[in-house]
Amino acid sequence: MDNDSNDGASGIGDLHQLDASNQHKAKLATVLNDNGALLSREKLVTAREDTAHMRENAAGLREEAAQLREGTATSREQEIRAAETIQSASDDQMIKLQQANAHLVVATIEAHKLAEQIEATKVQLDHLAHHDVLTGLPNRTLLQDRLSQAIEAACRQGRQLAVMYMDLDQFKHINDSLGHAVGDKLLQSVAQRLMDCARHSDTISRQGGDEFMALLPYIENAQGAALCARKMLAALALPHRIDQHELHISVSIGISIYPDDGRNAETQIKNADTAMYHAKESGRNNYKFFKQDMNDRAVQRQSIEVSLRRALERQEFVLHYQPKINLKSSAIIGVEALIRWQHPEQGLLLPEQFISIAEDCGLILPIGRWVLREACFHARSWQQAGLPPIIVAANISALEFRNKDFLNNILEVLEETGLEPRYLELELTESILMQDAGSTDSMLHALADLGIKLAIDDFGTGYSSLSYLRKFPINTLKIDQSFVNNMCSNPDDAAIVSAVINMGKSLKLCVIAEGIESSEQAAFLLVQHCDEGQGNYFGSPMEAGALATLLQVSVTLIPN
């Protein structure tokens, strides 16, 4: 408003003012423009700075973003690594678990196997404790247990039962001659045959060695046991084929009956054992029932066995000699050595009273060696004394003949005593010769090659194979005295004696008859062309000194 009141007076001034103003304005404008430009420049600078800041910020952000991306990548990598680590650890764990499972399975299966083996071993041990290893039969322990139970049952029910004690006859000979392997197989064969004879309710057991027992818990009477015994004897009578051998074996059986022969297992067994010995003494291969008086004999037998063991050391045996006579010339051509036992309490005992016991307990071997040595020694002494040389004969048991040292023993004795082999004769029974003919043949030839004479003793009482008789290097057949005893009264015995003499002649063997008791017998034999004789008719067995005297007086024996 002030500017309007001063319009006229101040026109030029106004112009000036205007001009000045314009100039001022222009200046101002210039200034302003300059200021604006400055400001603009400043703004520009500021903007540029801002831009630069922003760029810096953006760069910073980009760096952060890059860092973040790196972080993410790292973290992903870490995650992957972690996952891989976990997976790897898991796989390891799985493998470990699998291995652990495998070990557990294997260990458990092995434990099962072990437990099974232990169980099987326990069963085996239990079986072994109660059974015989060789035959598989119940053993002594199991039999005693069953017997005790059977006795209790029989007692309650008022029944009888039988116990059978069985011992194989001459088994030792087979064992000694053919070896334990053959012996064992024979025992197995015997065990099988005994089993075949038994009923399901019976027990067959092996007591040890060649001894068996049978328990028959259900018998009507004693005859039931006898029937079973006869079956067993018949079953064993058939030959046993063992390897290349055909073996014959028999058995002696003793039977005790409950309640008559004992009230407990121990007594029953003992009495059956006693009866078995009685069966042996009665010729073997049979059975005997127990009788009370057998016990007394068993006691005596036991006493003899104990004394026998000392008899050799105490020099209680003596040899007696029975002459052998040439029936035509009556000349003494030899003697048979016969053992006697000068028992300190029972006096002079004959061989029948102790030889079977000596065989059973094995003493027959040292006794046999003693007989052989003593006989050869005497024969040599008689020769050295200038007496006419005669043949001395010794009996040989199967056990001796089958003993592996038999031939060596004979050689030693002949060497020790200086007796020529041709003055020694060995008497062997048919049963010895026919058992295992193969080994017999070679032994006989070995003896014959030495010059030793061989005779078959008790001929006619055993079983001889005529082909072996022809093959064996036998010198003499000795007719058993059982035929000679009755030949003058019994035509059958006479026929046998005659047949044996004729057969002997045909085979070019010397024939001698033993047990000649009378002139009638001697005459009969002479008519039959028997070569030699032996018996009390010509001379009883006598001591060595008496025989030496007899030989000194005359070599011919004139019957009294």
Residues that bind other proteins (CB under 8 A): 98-99, 101-106, 108-110, 112-113
Torsion over CA: 500, 502, 503, 504 (sign): positive
CA angle (398, 400, 405) in 5-degree steps: 140
Residue 40 DSSP symbol: H
| Residue pair 257/222 in contact by the 8 Å Cβ criterion | yes
Cα separation, 303 vs 295, in Å, equals: 12
CB of 113 to other proteins, least distance (A): 7
Nearer residue to other proteins within complex by CB, 112 or 180 = 112
Read off the tokens for 1.
Answer: 């408003």
Q: Which residues on adjacent β-strands are paired with residue 215?
A: 163, 203
CB of 63 to other proteins, least distance (A): 52
CB of 112 to other proteins, least distance (A): 7
Q: Secondary structure of the chain: what % helix, strand, coil (to 5)?
A: 60, 20, 20
| Residue pair 379/324 in contact by the 8 Å Cβ criterion | no
CB of 109 to other proteins, least distance (A): 4
Cα separation, 247 vs 326, in Å, equals: 38
Read off the tokens for 196.
Answer: 């075949």
H or E element in which residue 256 lies: strand 251-258
H or E element in which residue 197 lies: helix 180-197
Strands 453-459 and 245-247, sheet pairing: unpaired
Nearer residue to other proteins within complex by CB, 113 or 314 = 113
Cα separation, 358 vs 361, in Å, equals: 5
Q: Which residues on adjacent β-strands are paired with residue 255?
A: 164, 289
Cα separation, 514 vs 477, in Å, equals: 10
H or E element in which residue 163 lies: strand 160-168
Nearer residue to other proteins within complex by CB, 6 or 98 = 98
Beta strands per DSSP E along 396-551: 424-429, 453-459, 476-479, 510-514, 532-534, 542-543
Q: Which residues on adjacent β-strands are paired with residue 455?
A: 427, 476
Backbone phi, psi, residue 479, to 5°: -70, 130
Read off the tokens for 84.
Answer: 């891989």
Nearer residue to other proteins within complex by CB, 112 or 470 = 112
Cα separation, 332 vs 175, in Å, equals: 39
Cα separation, 535 vs 100, in Å, equals: 95
Smallest CA-to-CA distance from 337 within 349, 348, 353, 322 is with 322
Read off the tokens for 434.
Answer: 């026919």
Nearer residue to other proteins within complex by CB, 93 or 221 = 93
Smallest CA-to-CA distance from 176 within 390, 382, 6, 365 is with 365
